[in-house]
C-alpha cells in the first residue's frame, strides 16, 4: 500500500524492433534518463484515510514543582498517523483531569477548570497555579483525534505529581545533555529496577560544579521517585539507601551511562513542617508575657500615682491666701491675725448689726479706743471674734457698736438673767463655736449701747447683749 511505497518510476522506450527487450541494450536503470526514445513516467499513489492515530506511549509520567507558574512546561506528548496530508493531521484534547489525594488510589473527581492545557503539537503546560495541590497527583486523559473523516482517535494517560524541590534527586553524568536525552528512558528503567520504584525525570540541564561554573560536557538529571503501592513520592534518604544497596548491580550501568554520582538535589535544605500545637504554645507564652508586663506597668503607675487638685480649686486657694496676706498687712488686732492664720481650722463669726450711733451715750473710754483703731469707712457689718470657752479671761475692753468696728469677748462671760432667749442662744453658740458663720436677727433694740460696765454678784463682768 501507500504506507510502504507511495511513488513509482516508469521508463518507456519507443522502438521498431518487435523483439526488443531491455537487457538487449544493457541499460542501467539507476542511470537511465529520458531521451528521444525513452520517456520517464512517475506514479504517485493517492492516500486513503485508512490508519488510526497512535500515541508513542500509552502512559506518561511527569512532575510539576509546587511553585510553578502559569504556562510552565510539563511534558511533551506525541501521537502519529501514517496517513498523509489532512488525513494524517491530529488535534490534542484533555478530556478529564482526575485528582488523587496524597496516598489515595481513588479519584476525588475531575477538576474544573482544568489546571493543565495542551497545544496542537502535544505540548502539555500548566493552565493555573498548582500550589494548592501540593503532594497530590493528577491523572489526565488525553486524546489525539484526526482532523478528517472518519475522525479516528487515540487515547493516552498522563500521571503528574506535584512536588517540592527538596524531594528531588540529582544524578550527575559526565555526558552532554543531548546524549542523555536520547538514552534517558534506558537510564530511568535501570534506576527503576534497582529501586523497585517508579523513577520520573523532571529536568535535564548543564552541570554546575562546586565553584558555580557551568560544564557543558556534563549534565545534571533531576528526578523524583514514586512508591508504586502508595503512589506517593518517596523520601530521599530511603531512595539513597536502596541505590547504595544495589551498587553492585548498578556499577556496570554507571560506567555505561557515565553516571558519576547520585545525591540530593538541594543539600542542606530541610523540609519544615507546621506544628499547630507548638504554634499554640508559643502564642500562649506571648500572651502571658504581655499580660505580666501590663500588670507590672499598671502597678508601677498606681504606686507613683499623684492625684492633682482641680485647677479651679488651686486658683481659689491662691485667692484666699492672697486675701489673708493682704489682711495681715492691714490688721492690728493680734487675735484677728491668729484667726486668719487658722483659715481651715476655724471660721469667723460674722454678725450683721444695724444700729444708729448715739454720740451722747458713747463712753469716753470707748471713744478713745476707737480712735486708736484703724479708721474704716462706715459700713453695716460689725465683726466680733469669740474666743474658745476654755480661755479664762475678763473682758478688758468693750467697744461700742459702730461702722466697721470689732471687739473680742472672753469665753467666761455669763449671760444676764434678764437677757432674752435669743441672747441665750447666742451665748450657747459662742460657747460651742466650731467655725460657723451666721447672721444676727435685725432686732436693733438688743444692740443698744450701754454706757457703763455691769458686774454680777461674783465680781465677773456681765454679758453685754449689744455685742452679740
> Which of 46, 192, 64, 83 is CA-nearest to residue 133?
64
**Highest mean pLDDT, choosing among 67-71, 320-324, 436-440:** 67-71
Chain centroid to Cα 450, Å, comes to 93
Interacting residues of 126 by C-beta distance below 8 A, sequence separation 6+ = 64, 68, 69, 70, 71, 72, 74, 115, 116, 117
Q: What is the pLDDT of residue 160?
A: 97
Q: What is the pLDDT of residue 301?
A: 81
- Taking 3-state DSSP, the helix, strand and coil percentages for the chain, each rounded to the nearest 5, stand at 30, 25, 45
- The DSSP code for 465 is G
Q: Which of 35-44, 92-101, 215-224 has the lowest mean pLDDT?
A: 35-44
- Give the architecture (CATH level 2) of 48-163: Sandwich (2.60)
Do the bridges between strand 137-146 and strand 153-163 make them parallel or antiparallel, or are there none, so unpaired?
antiparallel
First to last CA, the chain: 152
Q: What is the pTM of this model?
A: 0.54
Work out the pLDDT band at 278, boundaries 50, 70, 90.
confident
> Is residue 232 scored above 60 in pLDDT?
yes
Q: What is the pLDDT of residue 120?
A: 93
Interacting residues of 122 by C-beta distance below 8 A, sequence separation 6+ = 76, 77, 78, 79, 92, 144
Distance between CA atoms of residues 66 and 135, nearest Å: 8
Look up residue 319 and give its three cell numbers.
Answer: 485667692
> Is residue 418 scored above 70 in pLDDT?
no
**Highest mean pLDDT, choosing among 73-82, 352-361, 426-435:** 73-82
Helix H segments across 304-344? 311-330, 334-341
Distance between CA atoms of residues 273 and 177, nearest Å: 35
Q: Which of 114-123, 296-305, 414-423 has the lowest mean pLDDT?
A: 414-423
Mean pLDDT computed over every residue of the chain: 75
Residue 65 φ/ψ, nearest 5 degrees: -70, 145
Interacting residues of 156 by C-beta distance below 8 A, sequence separation 6+ = 55, 57, 58, 59, 60, 77, 79, 142, 143, 144
Chain centroid to Cα 176, Å, comes to 50
> Is residue 422 scored above 80 in pLDDT?
no
> Is residue 76 scored above 50 in pLDDT?
yes
Work out the pLDDT band at 464, boundaries 50, 70, 90.
low
- The DSSP code for 336 is H
Residue with cell 522506450: 13
> Is residue 393 scored above 50 in pLDDT?
no
Q: 75, 158 in Cβ contact below 8 A?
A: yes
Q: 386, 430 in Cβ contact below 8 A?
A: yes
CATH 3.30.70 domain extents, the chain? 167-264
CATH 2.60.40.60 domain extents, the chain? 48-163
Q: CATH code for 167-264? A: 3.30.70
H helix or E strand, kind and range, residue 298 = helix 276-303
Distance between CA atoms of residues 160 and 139, nearest Å: 6
Taking every pair of Cα atoms in the chain, the longest distance, rounded to a whole number of angstroms, is: 202
Work out the pLDDT band at 176, boundaries 50, 70, 90.
very high
Distance between CA atoms of residues 292 and 299, nearest Å: 11
DSSP assignment of 184-237: HHHHHHHHHHHHTSEEEEEEEEEEE-TTS-EEEEEEEEEEEEE-TTT-SBPPHH
Q: 467, 409 in Cβ contact below 8 A?
A: yes
Distance between CA atoms of residues 161 and 139, nearest Å: 9
Q: 71, 125 in Cβ contact below 8 A?
A: yes
170: helix, strand or coil: strand
H helix or E strand, kind and range, residue 123 = strand 123-126
Average pLDDT over residues 325-340: 55
Peptide bond into 14 cis (omega under 30): no
Q: pLDDT tens, 89-140?
A: 999 999 999 999 988 889 999 999 999 999 999 999 999 999 999 999 999 9
Q: What is the pLDDT of residue 290?
A: 93
Distance between CA atoms of residues 410 and 418, nearest Å: 20
Distance between CA atoms of residues 383 and 367, nearest Å: 18
Average pLDDT over residues 220-232: 94
Look up residue 225 and give its three cell numbers.
Answer: 521517585
108: helix, strand or coil: coil
> Is residue 407 scored above 50 in pLDDT?
no
Amino acid at each position: 500500500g501507500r504506507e510502504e511505497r507511495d511513488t513509482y518510476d516508469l521508463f518507456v522506450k519507443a522502438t521498431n524492433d518487435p523483439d526488443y527487450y531491455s537487457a538487449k541494450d544493457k541499460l542501467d536503470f539507476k542511470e537511465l534518463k529520458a531521451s528521444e526514445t525513452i520517456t520517464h513516467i512517475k506514479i504517485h499513489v493517492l492516500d486513503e484515510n485508512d490508519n488510526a492515530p497512535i500515541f508513542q506511549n500509552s502512559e506518561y509520567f511527569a512532575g510539576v514543582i509546587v511553585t510553578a507558574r502559569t504556562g510552565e512546561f510539563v511534558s511533551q506528548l506525541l501521537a502519529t498517523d501514517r496517513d498523509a496530508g489532512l488525513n494524517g493531521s491530529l488535534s490534542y484534547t484533555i478530556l478529564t483531569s482526575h485528582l488523587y489525594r496524597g496516598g489515595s488510589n481513588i479519584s476525588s473527581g475531575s477538576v474544573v477548570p482544568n489546571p493543565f492545557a495542551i497545544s496542537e503539537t502535544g505540548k502539555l503546560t500548566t493552565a493555573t497555579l498548582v500550589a494548592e495541590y501540593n503532594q497530590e497527583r493528577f491523572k489526565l486523559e488525553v486524546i489525539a483525534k484526526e482532523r478528517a473523516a472518519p475522525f479516528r482517535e487515540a487515547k493516552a494517560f498522563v500521571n503528574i505529581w506535584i512536588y517540592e524541590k527538596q524531594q528531588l534527586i540529582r544524578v550527575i553524568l559526565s555526558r552532554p545533555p543531548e546524549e542523555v536525552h536520547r538514552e534517558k528512558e534506558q537510564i530511568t528503567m535501570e534506576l527503576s529496577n534497582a529501586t523497585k520504584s517508579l523513577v520520573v525525570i523532571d529536568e535535564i540541564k548543564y552541570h554546575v560544579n562546586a565553584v558555580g561554573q557551568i560544564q557543558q560536557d556534563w549534565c545534571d538529571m533531576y528526578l523524583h521517585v514514586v512508591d508504586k503501592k502508595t503512589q506517593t513520592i518517596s523520601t530521599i534518604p530511603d531512595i539513597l539507601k536502596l541505590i547504595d544497596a544495589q551498587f553492585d548491580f548498578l556499577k556496570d550501568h554507571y560506567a555505561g551511562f557515565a553516571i558519576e554520582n547520585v545525591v540530593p538535589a538541594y543539600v542542606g535544605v530541610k523540609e519544615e513542617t507546621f506544628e499547630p500545637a507548638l504554634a499554640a504554645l508559643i502564642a500562649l507564652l506571648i500572651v502571658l508575657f504581655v499580660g505580666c508586663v501590663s500588670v507590672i506597668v499598671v502597678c508601677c503607675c498606681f504606686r507613683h500615682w499623684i492625684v492633682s487638685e482641680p485647677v479651679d480649686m488651686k486658683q481659689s486657694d491662691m485667692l484666699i491666701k492672697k486675701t489673708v496676706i493682704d489682711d495681715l498687712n492691714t490688721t492690728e488686732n493680734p487675735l484677728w491675725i491668729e484667726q486668719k492664720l487658722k483659715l481651715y481650722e476655724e471660721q469667723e463669726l460674722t454678725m450683721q448689726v444695724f444700729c444708729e450711733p448715739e454720740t451722747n451715750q458713747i463712753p469716753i473710754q470707748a471713744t478713745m479706743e476707737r480712735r486708736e483703731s484703724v479708721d474704716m469707712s462706715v459700713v453695716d457689718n460689725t465683726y466680733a471674734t469669740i474666743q474658745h470657752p476654755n480661755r479664762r479671761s475678763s473682758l478688758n475692753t468693750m467697744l461700742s457698736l459702730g461702722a466697721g468696728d470689732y471687739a473680742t469677748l472672753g469665753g467666761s462671760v455669763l449671760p444676764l438673767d434678764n437677757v432674752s432667749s435669743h441672747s441665750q442662744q447666742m451665748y450657747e453658740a459662742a460657747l460651742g463655736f466650731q467655725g460657723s458663720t451666721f447672721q444676727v436677727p435685725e432686732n436693733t433694740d438688743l444692740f443698744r449701747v450701754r454706757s457703763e460696765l455691769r458686774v454680777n454678784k461674783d465680781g465677773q463682768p456681765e454679758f453685754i447683749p449689744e455685742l452679740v
